[in-house]
Amino acid sequence: MTGQPPAAPTPTRALRLHGTIARKLGIAIVSGQYKPGDLLDSEIAASEQFAVSRTAYREAVRILAAKGLVDARPKVGTRINPQSKWNRLDPDVLEWTFESEPDLALLNSLFELRNMVESAAAGLAATRRSAAHLKAMRAALEPHDLTHVQFVLLTSAGWLGEHEEPPTQQRIAEHAGTDVMMTSQVLRRLAARQLITRELDDRDARAPRIVLTATGRAVLTDALSDVAATDAEFFATLGADDKVFLRGLTALRDDHR
């Protein structure tokens, strides 16, 4: 039948619309296309650019604000927040981060978050919730052909290599809180898979330095994304309190070292 007016957008379509816009902007923000302090286009200009209603664009901005990526204020505009305000445990933020090659600062922050959470998981190992968390992490690591211990040691080696210097086996064991002999055995397996190399140290030939290979870094980056998503789901009930919780974990970890 002709002459019928076009159907009004359904709520589902509207949801997809502002969700799509939020995703596009979110990827642009976490990838560094927008820098902290930058202002997004005005509501009118942005809605015209995306060919959507101002309401849809406004909802997209609200999504980003809820994740800590932007601060939207009347008569000021929508400003990109400092990375310290981003909710890195949010599943969408994690997904957007790994849509493009994460920069070194973001990767380092995930190393730090993972070390923090590993310390907490070790301390909570006797609880059923912790056991469920570790089971979920094992499932997340399976596609990467990594055991939980291999992942922990690979993460520690990567973090130490970025923040200190290429670590020795002893230093990795100290940092990860693992037995030295077991650490040696696991590192040999990682070396056999060409995820790490052992480089001689001119200062002490008996203590080679552990360095991630390009393959090892790629495997770790992908694994960090999946495990961080698992952490995000595990800690989702914290909501806006996640940063307070993580600061508490850090204090507990430091007090019991």
C-alpha to C-alpha distance for 203 and 166, rounded to whole angstroms: 13
Contact predicate 210/248, CB 8 Å:
no
At residue 19, the pLDDT reads: 86
At residue 31, the pLDDT reads: 85
Domains of the chain: 11-86 (1.10.10.10), 92-255 (1.10.10.10)
Give the chain's residues under pLDDT 70: 1-15, 89, 100-131, 235-257
pLDDT in tens, 158-184: 989 888 889 999 999 888 878 888 899
At residue 8, the pLDDT reads: 44
C-alpha to C-alpha distance for 196 and 193, rounded to whole angstroms: 8
Which parts of 89-213 fold into alpha helices (H)?
A: 91-97, 104-123, 128-141, 148-163, 169-176, 180-192
Question: Which residue has 């990795």 as its token pair?
Answer: 172
pLDDT in tens, 80-90: 999 888 877 67
Q: Which residues contact 103 (CB under 8 A, 6 or more apart)?
A: 32
Long-range own/partner contacts, residues 55-60 (CB < 8 A, 24 or more apart): 56/14, 56/17, 56/18, 56/21, 57/18, 57/21, 59/18, 59/22, 60/18, 60/19, 60/21, 60/22, 60/25
Q: Which two tokens stand for residue 199?
A: 């480089």
C-alpha to C-alpha distance for 98 and 20, rounded to whole angstroms: 17
At residue 129, the pLDDT reads: 44
